[in-house]
């Protein structure tokens, strides 16, 4: 599809500004680095490669250690890792710089940024680079490759994959008679009531409005998020989640009406704090924070698959989290260095260590057979749940996930709608507003594509 790049970049930039507060996987970054640092000549004589990322907190430290280990492992390239804010902020800067001086050679994106990156025409086909550099991609996890593939071309190298899971206080639920967390909405409602009866000083369910988790819950229920087979069979023109999202919102409304729900707006940090301080017994968030949540809790933390309505067969989730895009027009030595780093970053041992120290799951199949990861999962079996949920997912257009440049806005709209419901609003009215807002944004964006 030929695009008017100037007009398309305008649309892409507008989409990145919509929902930077509704984040994926890693949370909001704390600092920004000066991108000019990556353009300085290396005193070691190595070819420098600017790597823009969006990791923060403990996960940022793990990533920086990974990069340092790579730099120490060879004498040719030096990767300079630069925090550029959350995924939407970072990609917005990337578009603004238009691959000019000081821009990234490779950039970590959130899954919600994929369509915008493809539309921008500023990144390479990773599939083409794999062929050019004889990169062995046979070890990459099929479910992760499935998401980042558009028209038979993979446009981002899977790296930090995650999915939403249910975090729960296993001790509290055990005291209410549950050794395992129920798997359906209806059973969880009953469990919440029992938790409330047994523990008057704790709210059974904490909720922060997280659009990413909501669209993944729809996916797990077998629903497309947008039409045209999630945008994989042609550009999406409207949302397709209404029926599934209505069931989810009604479940939340029931928990609210039963007095079993504590809402935290869109505040991830306060939700996690409430959980680790045993003020709430369960909540839904990305597996990316699993290691930190477990380490911060003085009780037994359980992790479970996303629930579904009674009678619905779980279809699984798509590989959310992040991946790495490669800029077009790089010098040959820089491009070669990027591919060398990606080979390292996706290798079995590196992915095993990365997963064990974060909560992301490996995108290398061989990583699951390493002693490193086996030892981690033996110590903390909860960390294995996220990858089991993904590996159990059916590979289909539904679980390929939504391909939409307005995905950040879609998530922001449904998060706003959920927040309204948590605060006593009507389910149908809240969703009507969300759907209208997103559909209008899709229509406007599609006008910029020929």
**Domain ranges within the chain, ordered by starting residue:** 5-162+319-394, 164-318+401-446
Q: CA 256 to CA 260: how far, in whole Å?
A: 6
CATH entry 3.20.20.140 includes domain 5-162+319-394 = no
Q: CA 211 to CA 413: how far, in whole Å?
A: 8
Predicted pLDDT of residue 395: 87
**CB-based contacts of 277, cutoff 8 Å, min separation 6:** none
At residue 355, φ and ψ (nearest 5 deg) are: -65, -45
Query: Which of the residues in the chain have pLDDT under 70?
Result: 1-43, 450
How are strands ordered across the β-sheet holding 282-286? 282-286, 164-169, 301-304
Predicted pLDDT of residue 99: 86
Q: Are 414 and 19 in contact (CB under 8 A)?
A: no
Axis crossing angle, helix 407-422 with helix 5-16, rounded to the nearest 10: 20
Predicted pLDDT of residue 406: 96
Widest CA span in the chain: 66
Predicted pLDDT of residue 20: 43
**CB-based contacts of 4, cutoff 8 Å, min separation 6:** 448, 449, 450
Q: CA 266 to CA 174: how far, in whole Å?
A: 29
Copy the structure tokens of residue 243: 């029926």
Q: Up-side HSE of residue 217: CA atoms within 13 Å toward CB?
A: 30
Backbone conformation region of residue 70, classed left if phi is above 0, alpha if psi is from -120 to 50, else beta: alpha
Segment 75-78 long-range contacts (CB within 8 Å, at least 24 positions apart): 75/44, 75/46, 76/46, 76/47, 76/337, 76/340, 77/46, 77/47, 77/48, 77/49, 77/337, 77/340, 77/341, 78/42, 78/44, 78/46, 78/47, 78/48, 78/49
Q: Which of 26, 36, 39, 126 is nearest to 85 (CA)?
A: 26
Q: CA 155 to CA 125: how far, in whole Å?
A: 5
Please tell me if the domain spanning 5-162+319-394 has the same topology as the one spanning 164-318+401-446: yes
Predicted pLDDT of residue 43: 60
Burial zone of 449 (CB within 10 Å; 0-12 exposed, 13-18 middle, 19+ buried): middle
pTM metric for this prediction: 0.88
Predicted pLDDT of residue 34: 42
What is the 8-class DSSP label of residue 92? H
CATH topology of domain 164-318+401-446: D-Maltodextrin-Binding Protein; domain 2 (3.40.190)
Distance of alpha carbon 169 from the chain centroid? 23
What is the 8-class DSSP label of residue 184? B
3-class DSSP assignment, residue 78? strand
Q: CA 421 to CA 252: how far, in whole Å?
A: 8
**CB-based contacts of 160, cutoff 8 Å, min separation 6:** 25, 26, 55, 108, 288, 321, 322, 323, 354, 358, 360
Q: Which of 222, 223, 216 is nearest to 284 (CA)?
A: 216
């Amino acid at each position: 599809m030929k695009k008017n790049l100037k007009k398309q970049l305008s649309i892409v930039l507008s989409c990145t500004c919509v929902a930077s507060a509704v984040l994926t996987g890693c949370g909001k970054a704390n600092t920004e680095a000066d991108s000019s640092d990556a353009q300085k000549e290396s005193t070691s004589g190595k070819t420098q490669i600017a790597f823009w990322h969006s990791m923060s907190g403990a996960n940022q430290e793990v990533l920086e250690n990974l990069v340092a280990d790579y730099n120490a492992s060879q004498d040719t390239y030096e990767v300079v890792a630069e925090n550029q804010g959350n995924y939407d902020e970072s990609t917005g800067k990337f578009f603004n710089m238009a691959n000019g001086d000081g821009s990234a050679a490779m950039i970590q994106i959130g899954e919600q940024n994929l369509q915008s990156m493809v539309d921008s025409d500023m990144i390479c086909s990773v599939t083409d680079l794999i062929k050019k550099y004889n990169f062995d991609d046979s070890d990459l996890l099929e479910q992760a490759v499935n998401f980042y593939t558009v028209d038979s071309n993979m446009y981002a190298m899977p790296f930090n994959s995650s999915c939403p899971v249910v975090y729960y206080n296993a001790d509290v639920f055990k005291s209410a008679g549950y050794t395992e967390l129920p798997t359906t909405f209806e059973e969880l409602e009953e469990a919440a009531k029992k938790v409330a009866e047994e523990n008057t000083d704790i709210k059974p369910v904490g909720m922060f409005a997280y659009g990413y988790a909501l669209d993944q819950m729809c996916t797990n229920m077998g629903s497309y998020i947008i039409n045209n087979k999630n945008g994989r069979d042609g550009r999406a023109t409207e949302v397709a989640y209404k029926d599934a999202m209505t069931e989810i919102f009604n479940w939340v409304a029931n928990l609210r009406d039963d007095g079993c729900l504590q809402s935290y707006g869109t505040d991830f940090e306060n939700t996690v704090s409430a959980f680790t301080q045993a003020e709430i017994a369960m909540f839904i968030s990305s597996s990316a924070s699993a290691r930190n949540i477990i380490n911060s809790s003085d009780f037994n933390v359980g992790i479970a698959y996303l629930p579904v309505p009674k009678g619905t067969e779980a279809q699984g989730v798509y590989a959310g989290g992040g991946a790495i895009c490669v800029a077009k027009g790089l010098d040959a030595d820089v491009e070669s260095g990027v591919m060398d780093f990606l080979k390292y970053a996706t290798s079995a041992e590196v992915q095993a260590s990365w997963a064990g120290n974060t909560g992301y799951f490996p995108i290398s199949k061989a990583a699951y057979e390493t002693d490193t990861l086996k030892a981690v999962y033996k110590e903390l079996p909860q960390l294995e749940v996220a990858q089991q949920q993904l590996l159990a997912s059916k590979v289909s257009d539904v679980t390929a996930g939504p391909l939409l440049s307005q995905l950040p806005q879609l998530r922001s709209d449904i998060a706003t709608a959920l927040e309204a419901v948590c605060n006593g609003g009507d389910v149908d009215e809240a969703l009507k507003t969300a759907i209208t807002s997103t559909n209008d944004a899709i229509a406007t964006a599609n006008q910029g594509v020929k």
